[in-house]
Amino acid sequence: MDKVVITIARQYGSGGRTIGEMLAENIKVHYYDKELLKLASEESGINERLFVNADEKVKFAHLLKVVKNVYTGQLIPPESDDFVSDDNLFNYQAKVIKQLAEEESCVIVGRCADYVLKDYENVLSVFIHAPKDYCLEQAAKKVSMSPRELERYIARTDKRRAEYYKYHTGREWTDARNYDLCLDSSKLGFERCVEEIKAYLKVRFRT
């Protein structure tokens, strides 16, 4: 298979972003994270700041029990009042993700990429997780907060990501059935996680 895309969903502090960067460098492909917001802005003509403000967040999350907007691939036209809605911002990010999957091999982190590309044969979806203590330890290396503040920050961040995923996919973010491969970074370490993903790629796609 010529083009292979690895999507990575990750708990905060599990090292998923770092693992994605290491993997992309190792297999010599592009790594996409925040750059997706810029690409979606360029594709839509919508100010990038709006994408940043809506990034992996759902407004009025208390309504999630009764409201979902599961992604179907449709774009809202510019003449609509909802053209710059959070839903349409997601739609344009998804359009860019699909374009990347069709054009090149790459690593994509977050933004429900596993769901957006669920019907693509050239995609390997990965979920990186770890116990709370390990996530706290790793996050403390990058964020200057007290242990209590950091624990709350991690919990809020993961809750936000779970709500964002549920809203746009109708699925539970931490459900292993959503992914091809789930890895505990506390048991493997970052380098071995990269090696495990590469091994899976070799078996699955014979790369």
Q: Which two tokens stand for residue 175?
A: 């459900």
What is the average pLDDT value for the chain, to the nearest integer?
A: 90
63-66 contacts at long range (C-beta below 8 A, 24 or more positions apart): 64/163, 64/166, 64/167
Domain chopping of the chain, boundaries = 5-202
pLDDT at 62: 47
CATH for 5-202, among 2.40.50.140, 3.40.140.10, 3.40.47.10, 3.40.50.300?
3.40.50.300
Average pLDDT over residues 185-189: 97
Rounded Cα distance between 40 and 42, Å, is 5
Count of C-beta atoms within a 10 Å radius of residue 160: 16
Q: Fill in the DSSP letter of residue 63.
A: G
Q: Are 52 and 37 in contact (CB under 8 A)?
A: yes
pLDDT at 181 over 80: yes
132-166 pLDDT per residue, tens: 999 999 999 888 888 899 999 999 999 999 999 99
Map 178-207 to HEC letters: HCCEEEEHHHHHHHHHHHHHHHHHHHHHCC
Provide mean pLDDT across the span 166-185: 95
> pLDDT tens digits for 53-67?
887 776 655 445 545
Rounded CA-CA distance 202/94 in Å is: 27
